[in-house]
Amino acid sequence: GYVLVRVNLNPALAPTAAEVAAITGKDQKLSKERLMAVILCILLITCVMGSIYGGIASVTESAGVGVIGALFVAAVRNQMKWSILQEALAGTMSTVGTIIWLILGAVSFVGIFNLVGGGDFMRSLFLDLGLPPLGTILVMMAILVVLGTFMEWIAIVFITVPVFAPVVKELAPALGLDPTWAAVWFGILFVMNIQIYFLSPPFGPACFWLKSVAPKDVTLQEIFISVLPFIALQIIGLALVMMFPQIALWLPQALGS
């Protein structure tokens, strides 16, 4: 919605293909090759998401579906090369290794944390702040925002969820929610907060990914400035879901019933 409003107010922000071609001198028409690439991408996404929502595969198993689909797409586009597969395998091993070490560290941290009574201490600390329930949730969200400026999201998940989740369930009656649905609601808030992490400087992984594919004359500073409205929209959405939990819960509750 924001993009549509901005483009309608200032059409120069989204020039047509003909206008881009006139400026760059490059043909911007949708060729058969580009059309095929779009169709294959849509097909791949449909297969992965369809396997999940169709009950065919779990979330983890759907990743395997995505790998098979990606190999199929590479074969169709004549890009099935050993160098590409080797790079993909190396990247996968690096990512999986990082995740495994993060999980080991997080599990060890949580185990020791609970062993020394850290869980009970944090629960009593949050509950004794004297804040209303939403105030306590707001403090948690603020902590997540701060952590997101210097920590990986996977580490944030494994470290904070075991600490925050029991507190949220404890606050559920005061929030007017069942403990289970309170956990679902907090999970949605958590994910929305992580989305802010992906955009917010100085880390902002999405900004660095965008810089890697953007034209060379586009600076990282320009990208950081351009994402500020989207960060504001994420914060507004987070605040709305925080104040009105049914925005996030009506669909899961409808499907559950």
pLDDT digits (tens), the chain, 257 positions: 788 888 888 887 777 766 666 666 666 566 677 788 888 888 888 888 888 888 888 888 888 888 888 888 888 888 778 888 888 888 888 888 877 887 787 778 777 877 887 777 777 777 777 788 888 889 888 888 888 777 777 778 877 888 888 888 888 888 888 888 888 999 999 988 888 888 887 777 788 878 877 778 888 888 888 888 888 998 999 999 999 988 888 888 787 76
pTM exceeds 0.75 for this model: no
The pLDDT value recorded for residue 240 is 92
Look up the domain containing 199 and give its range: 117-257
Identify the burial level of 48 via C-beta atoms within 10 angstroms of its C-beta, where 0-12 means exposed, 13-18 middle and 19 or more buried: buried
User: Is residue 67 assigned to a domain?
Assistant: no
Q: How many domains does the chain have?
A: 1
Rounded-to-integer distance, Cα 181 and Cα 126, Å: 20
Rounded-to-integer distance, Cα 144 and Cα 191, Å: 10
User: Is residue 59 assigned to a domain?
Assistant: no
Residue reference for tokens 């989207």: 230
User: Is residue 173 assigned to a domain?
Assistant: yes
Return the ∠ at Cα 152 (arms to 241 and 235), rounded to 5°.
Answer: 25
The first and second tokens of residue 96, run together, are 């999986």
Contact (Cβ atoms closer than 8 angstroms) between residue 135 and residue 181: no
The pLDDT value recorded for residue 74 is 84
The pLDDT value recorded for residue 77 is 80
Rounded-to-integer distance, Cα 81 and Cα 85, Å: 6
The pLDDT value recorded for residue 157 is 82
Contact (Cβ atoms closer than 8 angstroms) between residue 233 and residue 2: yes
